[in-house]
Amino acid sequence: MMGRLSETSVHPSTPRQSSPSGRTSTFAALRIAPYRRLFLSGLLGFLAVQSQMIARGWLALELTGSNSGLGGVFLAFGIPMLIATPWGGVAADRLSKRAVLAASQFALAASAAWIGAAVAFDFIEYWMLLAASAIQAVAFSFLGPARMAFTGELVGRETLPNAIVLGQMSMNGTRIFGPSLAGVLIGVAWVGMAGVYFITAALSLLALVVVLFLPPGRPNPDRPARSPGQELVDGLRHVRANPPVLLLVVISFVVVMAAFPYIAFLPSVADGLFDVGPSGYGVMSAVSAVGALAASLFIAGRAGGPTVWRLQAGAGVGFAVFVGLLGISPSYGAALAAVFLIGASASAFQSLNNSLVLSLSDFEYHGRIQSLMMLSFSGFGMAALPLGVLADAVGLRTTLVGMGAVAAVAMLVMLLVRRRQRAVETAVLG
């Protein structure tokens, strides 16, 4: 039975935007004022994160000069996220979501300012980059589930798929502008690496200010009193009892862990394979984001439609294939085409996976379920280091092709399992 909604929910009055075919208006969720504020805070926060990503990758490469060094930064992100994310989901379902979001944004701002100061005053060391990655991982572990759980409360079930894709769209839009601008600013003498970090800290603080204007997002006061550990176990039981949700959570973990580390190696693709430097790396990141934004616009009105399972499967298979194509790209132009397709397919896969999972789940479990979905990114962080070691040993091209192959096999297994699930569902319905 669907859990009661919190006192901050506004979605009962949300106008219907769907058509008989299941299509919705592309920007339906933005008609809801509280969601617009959540969207704006996410836009500022994502811009900070995406701008910092290119700076972090380039700084790691400068400090270590190896793919293993790049992978180490992602490992420092992945392990803390693996530990903290389940508890971030519990916090989202039992605390004020506004407070969780505000605390997370403050941690992101502080960690960026710290690295900026270390670079500016020339005392930066590799371990500091690892420590900052760990702090950011914990912040994301709490921010992601709270943001997603808040989204469901603010827009309601019917508009939720559209709101999820719009959130993904805001992230993809900042991936076009943020990395390109950061790549340029790193090369500007009076800004440089330190300036980029200070700018991202300021953007995170602006996101925090916007968050303060959101409703409190308190949980349902009638929910049963349980310890955090009991709530964590209850969330796991909810997923286990829902086979389609369990399948989506597992496939997200496997595909993202296997294929998404490609992003950790883009600095080496740009510098080692094609010798285009930080500006070329920024262009690659921006082209990937253009593909992701285009995919988001395409699926925004389709995320709740009858073809969503087929779209999700096609996106996942495409993501795997295009990562492999990046590994065999003979030129920088071909690599740009590959990362455009990777960006489009990866964005569609993530958005549709989240949309399916949350649409099939009760609102009261959204924070904990989103935390399980986010575990895939801790897996990707942990996989980046061994894959970096493998790339140093056998070559980056071979490693990228292998990553795509593993993800493709995982998607084929998912299709077979889902076909069996649908046969069982059809038999039960008679």
Cα–Cα–Cα angle for 382, 242, 168, rounded to 5 degrees: 50
Whether the Cβ atoms of residue 151 and residue 163 lie closer than 8 Å to each other: yes
Give residue 290's pLDDT. Answer: 84
Give residue 303's pLDDT. Answer: 63
Cα–Cα–Cα angle for 167, 133, 86, rounded to 5 degrees: 60
- Report the candidate in 203, 204, 186 with the shortest Cα–Cα distance to residue 194: 186
Give residue 302's pLDDT. Answer: 67
DSSP E strands in 4-135: the ranges are: none
Instruction: Compute mean pLDDT per 10 residues along the chain, 430 residues long, and list them.
Output: 39 42 69 91 87 79 76 79 87 90 95 92 90 90 88 82 80 68 74 87 95 88 76 86 90 88 84 81 80 81 72 93 94 93 90 83 81 74 79 91 95 92 78
pTM given for the model: 0.73
Give residue 67's pLDDT. Answer: 67
Instruction: In whole angstroms, give the CA distance from residue 14 to residue 28.
Output: 10
Q: What is the DSSP string of 36-47?
A: HHHHHHHHHHHH
Give residue 2's pLDDT. Answer: 38
- Match 């910092």 to its residue by tokens: 52
Give residue 301's pLDDT. Answer: 65
Instruction: In whole angstroms, give the CA distance from residue 104 to residue 121.
Output: 26
Give residue 10's pLDDT. Answer: 43
Residue 306's CB: how many other CB atoms inside 10 A?
Answer: 10
Burial of 12 (0-12, 13-18, 19+ CB in 10 A): exposed
Rounded to whole angstroms, the maximal C-alpha distance in the chain is: 71
Instruction: In whole angstroms, give the CA distance from residue 233 to residue 118.
Output: 41
* Domains of the chain, start order: 27-429 (1.20.1250.20)
Residue 402's CB: how many other CB atoms inside 10 A?
Answer: 18
Whether the Cβ atoms of residue 145 and residue 370 lie closer than 8 Å to each other: yes
User: Is the C-alpha dihedral spanning 219, 225, 229, 230 positive or negative?
Assistant: negative
> Residue 3 carries which DSSP code?
P
Instruction: In whole angstroms, give the CA distance from residue 311 to residue 254.
Output: 18
Instruction: In whole angstroms, give the CA distance from residue 55 to residue 115.
Output: 11
Instruction: In whole angstroms, give the CA distance from residue 30 to residue 16.
Output: 13
R_g over Cα of the chain: 21
Give residue 358's pLDDT. Answer: 79
Give residue 15's pLDDT. Answer: 40
Cα–Cα–Cα angle for 204, 207, 210, rounded to 5 degrees: 155
Residues in the chain: 430
Cα–Cα–Cα angle for 197, 83, 100, rounded to 5 degrees: 60
Residue 426's CB: how many other CB atoms inside 10 A?
Answer: 9
Whether the Cβ atoms of residue 161 and residue 104 lie closer than 8 Å to each other: no
Half-sphere exposure of 366 (CA within 13 A, CB side): 30
Whether the Cβ atoms of residue 55 and residue 196 lie closer than 8 Å to each other: yes
